[in-house]
């Protein structure tokens, strides 16, 4: 049974539109977080880790940190531009 089915097996939802929106927002946030982590991991790893090993060197660690910071900053700028959020 999925979260959109009633316990009796019918396909009509048994929760309010507010409940639906909360579930939707939660699932959207989880999907966004997962995509963000996958993107940052891939891009920053490719850019910063030149010789994979059992630990990061100081320069690799700094590079990853800066890369993630820049990606977060860019995502915020794009989000504000798309949604016209006040700065």
**Residue 58 within a domain:** yes
- CATH number (domain holding residue 60): 1.10.287.810
Residues of the chain with confidence (pLDDT) below 50:
1-2, 5-6
Residue 7 is predicted with a pLDDT of: 52
Q: Can you give the pTM of this predicted structure?
A: 0.60
The C-alpha atoms of residue 68 and residue 57 are separated, in whole angstroms, by 17
**Residue 12 within a domain:** no
State the total domains in the chain.
Answer: 1
Distance of CA 17 to the CA centre of its chain: 24
Give the domain range for residue 77: 17-83
């Amino acid at each position: 049974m999925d979260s959109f089915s009633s316990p009796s097996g019918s396909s009509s939802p048994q929760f309010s539109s507010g409940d639906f929106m909360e579930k939707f927002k939660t699932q959207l946030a989880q999907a966004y977080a997962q995509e963000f982590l996958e993107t940052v991991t891939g891009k920053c790893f490719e850019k910063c880790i030149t010789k994979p090993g059992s630990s990061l060197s100081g320069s690799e660690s700094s590079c990853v940190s800066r890369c993630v910071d820049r990606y977060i900053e860019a995502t915020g700028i794009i989000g504000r531009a798309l949604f016209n959020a006040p700065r």
